[in-house]
C-alpha cells in the first residue's frame, strides 16, 4: 500500500470525531455507492436527527394547534432561545448577544440600518473586492438608500498584483487612509472564494481606532473556526446556518449585536413586534420597547420548523465542540494540501489560492487550474465527487470535519491525479 494511503487510514483510526460521520446522511449514487462530499461550505449534510426534530413540532401543531405557542416542553413563543447557547459558544459571544432569525442578507440590512449611519463626512463602507454578490448588493443599496454614490462611498480592498489574498498590513493601511471618512468596515470572517480567514481581532481594533463601526459576515466562518466576537469588541455580525452548521437549505440565519448596545435606546432600528419586550408583547399596545440584546432586533415570530432542524444540527456541533472540530479541520485540510502537492509538486496545473498558513484559512482550499478547470470539475463530478465550481476559475474543496474522512481526501486526490493525467 502506498505511504500516503496508509497515513490516511492511520489518521482515520486516531480521529476522535470519527463516530460523528454516522450521524449524517451521506449522499450516494443509484447503486448505493457513497459520494465524496466536499461541499459542506455550500450546504452541509443532513443530520439523521433532523427529521425527528421537525416531526416533533409537526406533531405539536397537529395535536395542539395554537396552544403549541405556550405548551411545554418547547413552547414556540420562546423556541428561538433554545438556540442561543450553542450559537454563542460557536462565535464566542454571550447568550444575549445572539439571536437566530431571518436569513443572512436580511439580517445584514437590519443591522446596517442600525450601524451604518452615514454623515456628510463619515459615509464610506469598506468591503473586500470580489465580495459575495449578496453582500455587495446589500452594501451598494444601503449607500444609495442614504443618498450617497457607491462610486465614491464604496471602497473595495484588492490584493497586490500577482497576489490572490489580502495582506494584513494593506488592510490596516487602507483603513487608516480612510480614518476621516470610514463609517463601516464589513468583511467576511472567511472569504467565500479564496477561503482566507481574516484576523478579526486586529482588524476590529484598527477600524475602531479609525472611528468606524465593524460588522462581519460569518457565513463561512461559523462552525468552521472558533471566534471570540465579544472579547474582540465586534459591533455586529450575521451568518447563515446551512453551510458548516448543517441546518438545511435556506434555514434561518443569525445575528450578533455586542452587549454594549444591548440597552441602547438611542440606536435607530427597524422594529417589529417580536423585538418588543416579552413581558407586555401580547398586550398589543403601541409604544415599542426593545428587548435586551440581539433579541431586540427581531421582527417576526420565529419560523419553528426550520428552527427545530437547526436546533438538532447545533446539538451535534456542540457535542463535538468547536475546538475539536477546528483541530481535526487543521489536520484534514493540511492533509488535503499535502495530497495535492504530491500530485503537482511544481504547481504546473494546480495553484492553491487559499493562504498556506493554516491560521489564515478554515476547512476550504480553493484550487485554480492552469487550463480546462471546468473540464476537471466535470470529470470529478462524474467520478462521484461533489465539490463546487465558482466562476471564473475556482474549484472549492472543503472537507468538513464532522463527516469527512482522511481516506476520502486520499481517494479524492487519486481521482484528481487520474483526471489530470
Ligand atoms: C452563503 C452566503 C450568503 C447567503 O446569503 P443568504 O441571505 O443566506 O441567501 C451571503 N453572503 C456570504 C458571504 C455567503 O457566503
pLDDT in tens, 336-375: 999 999 998 988 899 999 999 999 999 999 999 988 889 9
Domain boundary among 318, 337, 369: 318
Residue-range definition of the domain harbouring residue 337: 2-34+322-420
Provide the b/e sequence for 51-68 (b: ≥16 CB within 10 Å): eebbeebeebeeeeeeeb
Q: What is the rounded radius of gyration, in angstroms, for the C-alpha atoms of the chain?
A: 22
One domain, residues 227 and 328: no
Look at residue 87 in the predicted model and tell me its pLDDT.
98
- Top-confidence residue, 345 or 100: 100
Residue 379 has pLDDT above 90, yes or no: yes
Q: What is the DSSP letter of 125?
A: E
Closest Cα to atom 6, ligand 1: which residue? 104
- Flag whether 18 is in a domain: yes
- Flag whether 39 is in a domain: no
Closest Cα to atom 4, ligand 1: which residue? 104
Task: Say which CATH number the domain at 336 has.
Answer: 3.90.1150.10
One domain, residues 175 and 293: yes
Q: Output phi, psi for 311, to 5 deg.
A: -60, -45
Provide the residue count of the chain. 421
Closest Cα to atom 1, ligand 1: which residue? 219
One domain, residues 95 and 236: yes
One domain, residues 270 and 414: no
One domain, residues 16 and 73: no
For residue 298, how far is its CA from the centre of ligand 1 (angstroms)? 19
Domain boundary among 318, 334, 357: 318
Start-end of H helices in 65-212: 84-91, 104-115, 133-145, 150-153, 168-177, 200-209
Residue 285 has pLDDT above 90, yes or no: no
Residue 147 has pLDDT above 80, yes or no: yes
Give Cα separations from 45 to 81, 154, 191, 223, 322 (angstroms): 24, 36, 21, 13, 17
For residue 219, how far is its CA from the centre of ligand 1 (angstroms)? 6
Probe target for ligand 1 pocket from 105, 129, 249, 310, with the most ligand atoms within 8 Å of CB: 105
Closest Cα to atom 2, ligand 1: which residue? 219
Report the candidate in 233, 240, 149 with the shortest Cα–Cα distance to residue 188. 240
Give me the helix-helix angle, 406-420 and 3-13, nearest 10°: 150
The H or E element that residue 375 is part of is helix 373-382
Cα 229 from Cα 392, distance rounded (Å): 33
Look at residue 283 in the predicted model and tell me its pLDDT.
85
Q: Which atom of ligand 1 is nearest to the CA of 217?
A: 13
How far apart are the two ends of the chain, measured CA to CA in Å? 21
One domain, residues 220 and 340: no
For residue 132, how far is its CA from the centre of ligand 1 (angstroms)? 7
Look at residue 262 in the predicted model and tell me its pLDDT.
94
Provide the b/e sequence for 392-421 (b: ≥16 CB within 10 Å): ebbbbbbbbbbbbbbebbbbbbbbbeebee
Look at residue 215 in the predicted model and tell me its pLDDT.
98
For residue 221, how far is its CA from the centre of ligand 1 (angstroms)? 12
Probe target for ligand 1 pocket from 39, 103, 104, 253, with the most ligand atoms within 8 Å of CB: 104
One domain, residues 330 and 311: no
For residue 5, how far is its CA from the centre of ligand 1 (angstroms)? 36
Residue 69 has pLDDT above 90, yes or no: yes
One domain, residues 21 and 59: no
Cα 198 from Cα 211, distance rounded (Å): 20
pTM of the model: 0.97
One domain, residues 266 and 294: yes
Residue 1 has pLDDT above 80, yes or no: no
Give Cα separations from 285 to 66, 176, 276, 299 (angstroms): 21, 47, 10, 16
For residue 98, how far is its CA from the centre of ligand 1 (angstroms)? 18
- Flag whether 46 is in a domain: no
User: Cβ < 6 Å from ligand 1: which residues?
Assistant: 103-105, 132, 134-135, 188, 192, 217, 219-220, 240, 253
Residue 9 has pLDDT above 90, yes or no: yes
| Strand, coil or helix: 168 | helix
- Flag whether 107 is in a domain: yes
Closest Cα to atom 10, ligand 1: which residue? 134
- Flag whether 69 is in a domain: yes
Count of domains forming the chain? 2
Domain boundary among 285, 318, 351: 318
For residue 240, how far is its CA from the centre of ligand 1 (angstroms)? 7
Report the candidate in 358, 382, 401, 390 with the shortest Cα–Cα distance to residue 416. 382
What would the grid cell of residue 221 be? 466562518
Look at residue 400 in the predicted model and tell me its pLDDT.
98
Cα 218 from Cα 227, distance rounded (Å): 10
Residue 97 · residue 258 · CB < 8 Å:
yes
Look at residue 286 in the predicted model and tell me its pLDDT.
86
Closest Cα to atom 15, ligand 1: which residue? 219
One domain, residues 128 and 265: yes
Probe target for ligand 1 pocket from 108, 132, 243, 396, with the most ligand atoms within 8 Å of CB: 132
One domain, residues 298 and 281: yes
For residue 358, how far is its CA from the centre of ligand 1 (angstroms)? 24
As a whole-number percent, the residues of the chain with pLDDT over 70 amount to 100
Residue 351 · residue 373 · CB < 8 Å:
no
Q: Which atom of ligand 1 is nearest to the CA of 104?
A: 7
Report the candidate in 324, 82, 312 with the shortest Cα–Cα distance to residue 223. 324
One domain, residues 96 and 142: yes
Look at residue 2 in the predicted model and tell me its pLDDT.
87
Cα 363 from Cα 199, distance rounded (Å): 16
- Top-confidence residue, 56 or 265: 56
Q: Which atom of ligand 1 is nearest to the CA of 191?
A: 13
Amino acid at each position: 500500500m502506498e505511504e500516503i494511503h496508509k497515513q490516511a487510514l492511520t489518521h482515520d483510526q486516531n480521529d476522535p470525531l470519527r463516530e460523528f460521520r454516522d450521524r449524517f446522511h451521506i449522499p450516494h449514487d443509484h447503486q448505493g455507492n457513497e459520494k465524496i462530499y466536499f461541499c459542506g461550505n455550500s450546504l452541509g449534510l443532513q443530520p439523521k436527527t433532523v427529521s425527528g426534530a421537525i416531526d416533533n413540532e409537526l406533531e405539536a401543531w397537529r395535536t395542539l394547534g395554537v396552544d403549541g405557542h405556550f405548551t411545554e416542553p418547547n413552547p414556540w413563543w420562546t423556541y428561538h432561545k433554545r438556540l442561543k447557547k450553542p450559537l454563542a459558544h460557536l462565535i464566542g459571544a454571550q447568550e444575549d448577544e445572539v439571536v437566530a432569525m431571518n436569513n443572512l442578507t436580511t439580517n445584514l440590512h437590519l443591522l446596517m440600518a442600525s450601524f451604518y449611519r452615514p454623515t456628510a463626512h463619515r459615509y464610506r463602507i469598506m468591503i473586500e473586492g470580489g465580495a459575495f454578490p449578496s453582500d455587495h448588493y446589500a452594501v451598494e443599496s444601503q449607500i444609495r438608500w442614504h443618498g450617497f454614490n457607491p462610486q465614491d462611498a464604496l471602497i473595495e480592498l484588492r490584493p497586490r498584483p500577482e497576489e490572490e489574498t489580502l495582506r494584513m498590513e494593506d488592510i490596516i493601511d487602507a483603513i487608516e487612509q480612510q480614518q476621516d471618512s470610514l463609517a463601516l468596515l464589513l468583511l467576511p470572517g472567511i472569504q467565500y472564494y479564496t477561503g482566507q480567514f481574516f484576523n478579526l481581532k486586529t482588524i476590529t481594533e484598527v477600524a475602531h481606532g479609525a472611528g468606524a463601526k465593524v460588522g462581519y459576515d460569518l457565513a463561512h466562518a461559523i462552525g468552521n473556526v472558533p471566534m471570540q466576537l465579544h472579547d474582540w469588541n465586534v459591533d455586529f455580525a450575521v451568518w447563515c446556518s446551512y453551510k458548516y452548521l448543517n441546518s438545511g437549505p435556506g434555514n434561518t440565519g443569525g445575528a450578533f449585536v455586542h452587549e454594549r448596545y444591548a440597552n441602547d435606546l438611542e440606536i435607530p432600528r427597524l422594529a417589529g413586534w417580536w423585538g418588543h419586550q416579552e413581558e407586555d408583547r401580547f398586550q398589543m399596545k403601541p409604544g415599542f420597547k426593545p428587548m435586551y440584546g440581539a433579541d431586540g432586533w427581531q421582527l417576526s415570530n420565529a419560523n419553528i420548523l426550520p428552527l427545530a432542524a437547526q436546533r438538532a444540527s447545533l446539538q451535534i456541533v456542540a457535542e463535538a465542540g468547536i475546538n475539536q472540530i477546528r483541530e481535526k479541520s487543521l489536520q484534514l485540510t493540511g492533509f488535503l494540501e499535502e495530497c495535492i502537492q504530491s500530485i503537482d509538486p511544481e504547481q504546473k496545473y494546480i495553484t492553491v489560492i487559499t493562504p498556506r498558513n493554516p491560521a489564515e484559512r478554515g476547512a476550504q482550499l480553493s484550487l485554480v487550474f492552469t487550463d480546462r478547470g471546468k473540464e476537471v470539475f466535470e470529470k470529478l463530478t462524474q467520478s462521484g465527487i461533489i465539490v463546487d465550481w465558482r466562476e471564473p476559475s475556482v474549484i472549492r474543496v472543503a472537507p468538513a470535519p464532522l463527516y469527512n474522512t482522511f481516506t476520502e481526501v486520499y481517494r479524492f486526490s487519486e481521482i484528481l491525479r487520474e483526471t489530470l493525467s
